[in-house]
Amino acid sequence: MSIQETQAPDPDALAQAMATARPLVLRGWADAWPAVQAGRQGPASITAYLAAMDRGVAAEAFRGPPQIGGRFSYGPDLKGFNFTRSPATVTALLEELATLADQLSPPALYMGAAPMGRSLPDFTADNPAPDLPGHAVPRLWLGNAVTVQTHYDLSDNLACVVAGRRTFTLFPPEQTANLYVGPLEFTLAGQPVSLVDPLAPDLDRFPLFAQAQAAALSVVLEPGDALYMPSLWWHHVRSHDALNVLVNYWWDAGPPLAGSPFEALIHALLAIRHLPPERREPWKAIFDHYVFSADDQTHAHIPAAARGAVGDLTPEMARTLRAFVIGSLSRHRDR
């Protein structure tokens, strides 16, 4: 299946995609960027462009041996990883990638989510993103022909290819149960990942993945193209060339006062997950009423001034709720 596409600039289409939480390909979204123009001229040009901006701040880089085929993953039995981590500057990594470019089976080399404000602070002014929320901050991703395993982001994400080509394969959040997700607290790079290789799925071991595969959306992005991915959409990313550069932007759709829904999930694992099934089921109804199905009419029978926690999320109420959670965790920590 394919993802809806539009030819940029098309801010209305992007706004509609954000409002409906549906992925959208924006062809040519960054065509005017000097970075993209440098990327189209070849590896030497984009390397020189980025190196000239580099302030020498190191970020984390992944390195994997040739035998992993560029696919970063866990070690056997989910013990450890098949790669190592070490700090590197953007310029040093670009130079190392250049030395690997002609190898038939090079080591896998990858830097992800490097904050542009620290590493390349002049990038934003030179390559503006006017269609995005003002608090969306760019991050840099670069490497050779590597594969990033299927994962989701907590925030909305717009990913723009600067150099090289990338294939994105997306799975909607409702396919989570069919993706055979790995550990929550022991991850490759912060977010849980699927244990299935979608390029060569073992359906004997992961039979439900066939349903996720049927719902998958796939697209190849060229330099200048961008892809909008709503929060919690799973995505598998494959880079195809000896040098691949991508810039992405994350931003949160919810109010800044609210905190992370992922933290609420962890608390629910602690407080609800281990209840007997007959006790968990009523809590589903309670959560549905207060959280998942709540709208403007749910608590309209309560005067606005008396709604408290089910009313508007004010700074004062956010502090009250946060203090309640902290106090609750403190009371139960030694039980």
Instruction: Give the tens place of pLDDT for each residue, 315-324.
Output: 888 888 888 8
Name the CATH architecture for the domain at 5-251: Sandwich (2.60)
- Closest to 266 measured CA to CA, from 178, 181, 177, 184: 184
17 conformational bin, left if phi > 0, alpha if psi -120 to 50, beta if neither: alpha
Q: Among all chains, which residue has been given the structure tokens 């980025």?
A: 50
Q: In this structure, are residues 90 and 51 in contact, taking their beta carbons and an 8 Å threshold? A: yes
Residue type, 32: A
Q: What is the pTM of this model?
A: 0.93
10 Å CB burial of residue 218 (0-12, 13-18, 19+) is middle
Portion of the chain with pLDDT greater than 90, in percent: 81
Q: What is the pLDDT of residue 84?
A: 97
Q: State pLDDT tens for residues 261-316.
A: 888 898 899 889 999 999 999 999 999 999 999 999 999 999 999 999 999 989 88
Q: Is the Cβ–Cβ distance between 145 and 70 less than 8 Å? A: yes
With bands split at pLDDT 50, 70 and 90, how would you rate the model's confidence at 333? low
For the segment 90-139, what is each residue's pLDDT rounded down to a tens digit?
A: 999 999 999 999 999 999 999 999 999 888 999 999 999 988 987 888 99
**According to the model, what pLDDT value does residue 272 have?**
92
Pairing of strands 24-27, 5-7: parallel
154-202 per-position pLDDT tens digit: 999 999 999 999 999 999 999 999 999 999 999 999 999 999 999 999 9
Going through the chain in order, the beta strands assigned E by DSSP cover: 5-7, 24-27, 59-64, 84-88, 108-115, 137-143, 147-151, 156-163, 166-171, 217-221, 226-229, 234-239, 244-251
Structural domain boundaries in the chain: 5-251, 256-332
